[in-house]
Structure 1
Amino acid sequence: MWPEEVNSSASRIMRFIRGAMRMRSFSKLLRVKHWVKNILVAVPLFFSQNLLQMDIWKSTVLGFIAFSLISSCVYIINDIQDVDKDRMHPKKKFRPIASGKITVKSAYFIFAICLCVSITISYTIASMNAVVIVLLYLFLNIAYSKGLKNKALIDVVILTSGFFLRVVYGAVISHVEISAWLYLTVISGAFYLGFGKRRNEMQQQGNDGTTRKVLKSYSLSFLDKNMYVCLALTNMFYALWATSKESQAYFISVPLVMIIFMQYSLDIEGDSDGDPVEVIGQDRTLICLVLLYAALMVTLLYILRL
């Protein structure tokens, strides 16, 4: 009996390991770690000082889930579209579809589920307005995947629109208005991140177009200049938002935001590939600065109620 029990236990362990590997592959396919970008849907609610209203808070949480699923749909389509190129990339070749861990047919099935759930949640919490936004986000990114990613500037514009649509979606589902200065801060900041990502891709891969065709249309000088122009605009728009508040206490956050972007710039000037999630996740100093900013804003908005 003992050998049979050992074999049975070993079989259960192997099934568990295979199940864990499948879950890890699904997680990579959905880019779960990139869902952190969708925290932007909570920006309108947070800055409106209504974060503690449970009914609105629940809608925002559901909206976060819905936008995370629609963003996963985009990642799935991109992986299917770029599977051949990904297999030649030193890092991307390990993605689930490129490596063969998930078939294209299975990926389409997962895409359909995520799309249906995202639309259902969006319609439930904010009617057709929210549905239109998630479908617009999906349409723009499919167009990006089908060819617009190879058009200089248009590729960065679409990347930027994703951040902007997240904030608009958050405003729609939470039924709150957001300052025009904050919208402009998000837009210019997203352009800064987009140009920074392209800059570091070119620095690491060159501009021969082997892994990303659009890099042939850019130069490091162009990307550097526009990246830091957008950074300057981001700091300026944020400062204008702070000055629009009744309390001068919000001025304290302006230099902190500047320092956060300086630290981020220091990172992407190094060996990073420019992906915002990777940059932030690998820099403890940057994480601490972001947490400090969050604590400051919670204090000003919700404790002091300024």
Structure 2
Amino acid sequence: MTERTALLERTPAAPAPVVSLTGLVRGLVRTARPRQWVKNVLVVAAPAAAGQLFARNALIQLALVFALFTACASAVYLINDARDAAADRAHPVKRHRPVAAGQVPVPVAYAVGGALALLAPTAAAWFCSPAVAALLTAYIGMQLAYCVSLKHVLVVDLVVVTTGFLMRAMIGGLALGIPLSRWFLITTGFGALFMVSAKRYSEAVQMAGKAGATRALLTEYTTGYLRFVWQLAAGVSVLGYCLWALEGGGVPSTGVLPWRQLSMVAFILAILRYAVFADRGTAGEPENVVLRDRALALIGLVWLAMYGLAVANW
């Protein structure tokens, strides 16, 4: 036995971190990724597109759907972090996550995540509709499959993440019984694929030539392929939106100005502006791009105003 081995054997093991109730609650909230909850605002997309956002009881129902979808997403994050706790402890950044750091015990993360995954669809079936409950159940199943294996499958990982965004956009319409138009589904689906593939492209560009990828699958994609995907998705989303605007969705326009057609300009400008960051490889955090770029934010507000006027038929 060497002197070093003997010293290590005499060194007492580091005590397990003492977890207080307050620290546990904070850790659970952090694991639920509050910054990601903004994605769930997409639940208002379908009612807004149909001009029924402010219909009677619509906002109450949408607030409930937002909370239920947030609970489902939080359940997935909790279960994912519990499952990856051992691997995360060896990661220079992820080791600070509450579960990996010991602030939230693994069994507790599993228990809370499992409870949310069961309660949210049950509450949806009780307070909303069977269709909403079925969509939430499908979302949880798909995301858990993604955490276990699908995130390691080429192309499928892009499809799963994109479908998650599309589900968010669809669920508000299902909750209020609003028919979902083909243009809405095409524009929303490919718009989501545009942002997801641009994010992956940016991550691939930033990790080029560096050891240790945050996503192992990125090493199997080429930047040329990811560029092709986000360019294709951007083109299809613009085409879908323009077809909606030019056809008017079957609703005759009697407004002061052709807001529906004019909104195409703002929509295309927004796509082109976002594509600048995608092309630079700096679209790895979509929420930061949207919130920090003043020009993009202004274009978004102009589009929102025009879109609102078009839907309201003013």
TM over 0.5: yes
Coordinate RMSD, CA, aligned: 2.4
Segment drifting more, 216-225 vs 242-251: 242-251
The reply on whether 1:301 has 2:301 as its aligned counterpart is no
Q: Distance in 1 between matches of 2:154 and 2:142?
A: 15
Q: Distance in 1 between matches of 2:289 and 2:94?
A: 17
1:231 to 231, 234, 240: 234
What's the TM-score once normalised by structure 1's chain length? 0.85
1:146 to 145, 148, 151: 148
Q: Distance in 2 between matches of 1:244 and 1:298?
A: 17
Q: Which residue of 2 aligns with 1:134?
A: 136
Q: Which residue of 2 aligns with 1:205?
A: 207
* Cα displacement (A) at 1:63: 0.7
1:253 to 245, 263, 266: 263
Q: Which residue of 1 aligns with 2:190?
A: 188
Q: Distance in 2 between matches of 1:258 and 1:84?
A: 45
What's the TM-score once normalised by structure 2's chain length? 0.83
Q: Which residue of 1 aligns with 2:223?
A: 220
Q: Which residue of 1 aligns with 2:301?
A: 291
* Cα displacement (A) at 1:22: 5.4
The reply on whether 1:264 has 2:267 as its aligned counterpart is no
Q: Which residue of 2 aligns with 1:76?
A: 78
Q: Which residue of 1 aligns with 2:102?
A: 100
Segment drifting more, 249-258 vs 260-269: 260-269
Q: Which residue of 2 aligns with 1:41?
A: 43
Q: Which residue of 1 aligns with 2:165?
A: 163
Q: Distance in 1 between matches of 2:104 and 2:124?
A: 28
Contact kept, 8 Å, 2:69 with 2:136, in 1: the verdict is: yes
1:242 to 238, 241, 245: 245
Please show how residues 115-130 of structure 1 align to structure 2 within 5 Å: 115-130=117-132
- Unpaired segments ≥5 residues, structure 1: 1-17
Q: Cα deviations across residues 4-43 of structure 1 (Å, max 9, x unaligned)?
A: xxxxxxxxxxxxxx88765553332111221111122211
Contact kept, 8 Å, 2:79 with 2:114, in 1: the verdict is: no
* Cα displacement (A) at 1:284: 3.4
Aligned length, in residue pairs: 287
Larger relative helix fraction: 1
Q: Cα deviations across residues 243-273 of structure 1 (Å, max 9, x unaligned)?
A: 1213332111112111212222222344636
Q: Aligned to 2:62, what secondary structure does the other structure show?
A: helix
* Cα displacement (A) at 1:174: 1.0
Identity over aligned pairs, percent: 26
Q: Aligned to 1:257, what secondary structure does the other structure show?
A: helix
Report which of the two structures shows the higher radius of gyration computed on alpha carbons: 2
Q: Distance in 1 between matches of 2:199 and 2:80?
A: 17
Contact kept, 8 Å, 1:62 with 1:121, in 2: the verdict is: no
Q: Which amino acid aligns with 1:79?
A: D
Q: Which amino acid aligns with 1:212?
A: R
Q: Cα deviations across residues 220-256 of structure 1 (Å, max 9, x unaligned)?
A: 0111111111111111111111112133321111121
Q: Distance in 1 between matches of 2:272 and 2:180?
A: 26
Q: Which amino acid aligns with 2:45?
A: V
* Cα displacement (A) at 1:185: 0.6
Q: Which residue of 1 aligns with 2:285?
A: 275
Segment drifting more, 35-44 vs 82-91: 82-91
- Unpaired segments ≥5 residues, structure 2: 1-19
Contact kept, 8 Å, 1:44 with 1:174, in 2: the verdict is: no
